[in-house]
Amino acid sequence: MAIIVQKYGGTSLQTIEKIKQAADRIIGEQAKGNQMVVVVSAMGDTTNRLVQLSREVSSCTNGREKDLLLSTGEQVSCALMALALQEKGQASIAMTGEQAGIEVEHHHGNAEITSMNTSKIKKELQEGKIVIVAGFQGAAANGEICTLGRGGSDTTATALAAALKADRCDICTDVDGVYAADPRIIPNARKYSSMDYDSLLTMAEMGAGVIHPRAVTHAKAYQVPLLIRSSFCEKPGTWISSDPSRTSVAGVTYQTNLCHLRLSGSRLKKEKLRRWLKDTDVIGTTSVHSQPEEFIVVIKEDDLDQIITRLDQFKEQLGIKAIQTEAEKAAIHMLFGQEEMKRKQNAPLNEKEWMPLEEIHHIDSHPAVWSVSVPEEHGKDLARRLYNAFMNVNQNKFPLAY
């Protein structure tokens, strides 16, 4: 029997009705003769609500108690999904990350998986049960619950698929595959039928929300076949593999909830700062060009407190005299698939007609990606105009693999 790992995100489990619909799809997949392991995220915006609750109670929102709180979101989804399956007559068992044998480093908020003991999962599968695992969490060697950071359920799924030597791992989400742009922002965006791990990783790192970058890295390392598919329909998804013929992937990605940290100082050590940013474990930081005595860092708003705390510790070494925060920023990334293609398009991309805003900043992001940050109010419009000009009009310039 084939082993299939499926992951359902928060939007796919937003209501009890959606949980029941997902249960039907899981049963349908099992009916094909597959053994099923299902990883679930917290329902809807549960994690955000839990974070807000913690902030209302205390300003100390990091560490052990926060992880204990946030892990409950996935545990609720896990138990409800198992109950939904049992109600439909299907034997099922719910497991926390610890019960599923997921061991992580003792690092609260953004832990890495260190080992997997799948013996209990295998035993339940042999008994004909569908195993439901709470994503986003695991237990350290000392028994402490630690979370894997935002998007951690994707990592849980690919790690389980690797450990179980699963035949494939389905990432079930609210879109039916990987598109050249977010179809919710650009309705005419085209969908990929397949692509390679590296292309998906670039898209994920540049803001495509279909899967977390760490999960792609893990899948590539263990050659886990991935299928990005819809939770709500049977449309063909996007297959992810190491196929070397699927390397020319182009598209536009869009990120919101970003902010600028404007760092200034007469003796600002920019190169040292770039190296520091490269080595830091804070996700979502990138340097941009600015004035001689200024350096702007674009980060996710969720990382703001953490990175300011770290920068304060290294202010003197980095020559930083002042730190200013500018909120409500967005980033648009043009992905060209190949560095050579980016060089060819650099001139037309930098034409003034595309960039009428004084507030625009060119971002150093990736060799094959052209990136800018703009005020959030202008972001979607610029993303649409860039996509329509460079992806639709110039299709022949981008050897897309559909």
pLDDT single digits (tens) 261-302: 888 888 888 777 777 776 665 444 555 555 678 888 888 887
Q: Which of 80, 79, 64, 71 is CA-nearest to residue 50?
A: 71
Please report whether residue 282 resides in a domain: yes
Question: Which pLDDT band, with edges at 50, 70 and 90, does 62 fall under?
Answer: low
Q: Which residues have C-beta within 8 Å of that of residue 96, sequence separation ≥ 6?
A: 71, 75, 78, 134, 137
44-48, 86-90, 395-399: range with highest mean pLDDT: 86-90
Question: Which pLDDT band, with edges at 50, 70 and 90, does 19 fall under?
Answer: very high
On whether both 198 and 65 belong to a single domain, the answer is yes
Neighbours of 60 (CB within 10 A): 10
On whether both 6 and 88 belong to a single domain, the answer is yes
Q: In the prediction, which pLDDT does 372 show? A: 86
Structural domain count of the chain: 2
Q: In the prediction, which pLDDT does 280 show? A: 62
Which of 33-47, 88-102, 204-218, 233-247 is predicted least confidently? 233-247
Which of 271-275, 378-382, 384-388 is predicted least confidently? 271-275
Q: In the prediction, which pLDDT does 289 show? A: 58
On whether both 135 and 163 belong to a single domain, the answer is yes
On whether both 317 and 349 belong to a single domain, the answer is yes
Please report whether residue 112 resides in a domain: yes
Please report whether residue 137 resides in a domain: yes
345: CATH: 3.30.2130.10
* Domain-terminating residue out of 223, 241, 259: 241
On whether both 179 and 260 belong to a single domain, the answer is no
Q: Which of 154, 391, 388, 383 is CA-nearest to residue 256?
A: 383
On whether both 386 and 294 belong to a single domain, the answer is yes
Q: State the residue range of the domain holding 260.
A: 251-393
Which of 46-55, 360-369, 386-395 is predicted least confidently? 386-395
For the chain, give the mean pLDDT.
86
On whether both 185 and 274 belong to a single domain, the answer is no
Q: In the prediction, which pLDDT does 362 show? A: 81
**88 pLDDT exceeds 90?**
yes
On whether both 6 and 74 belong to a single domain, the answer is yes
Please report whether residue 402 resides in a domain: no
Please report whether residue 384 resides in a domain: yes
On whether both 218 and 357 belong to a single domain, the answer is no
* Domain-terminating residue out of 218, 241, 264: 241
CA atoms within a 13 Å half-sphere pointing along the CA-CB vector of 49: 8
Please report whether residue 322 resides in a domain: yes
On whether both 329 and 217 belong to a single domain, the answer is no
Q: Which of 222, 215, 161, 225 is CA-nearest to residue 5?
A: 161
- One-letter-per-residue 3-state SS of 295-351: EEEEEEHHHHHHHHHHHHHCHHHHCCCEEEEEEEEEEEEEECCCHHHHHHHHHHHCC
Question: Which pLDDT band, with edges at 50, 70 and 90, does 3 fall under?
Answer: very high
On whether both 330 and 379 belong to a single domain, the answer is yes
98: CATH: 3.40.1160.10
Please report whether residue 234 resides in a domain: yes
On whether both 199 and 71 belong to a single domain, the answer is yes
pTM: predicted TM-score of the whole model, two decimal places: 0.85
Mean pLDDT on 32-43: 97
Task: Tell me 11's DSSP state.
Answer: G
Please report whether residue 215 resides in a domain: yes
Which of 186-195, 228-237, 309-318 is predicted least confidently? 309-318
* Domain-terminating residue out of 190, 216, 241: 241
**344 pLDDT exceeds 60?**
yes
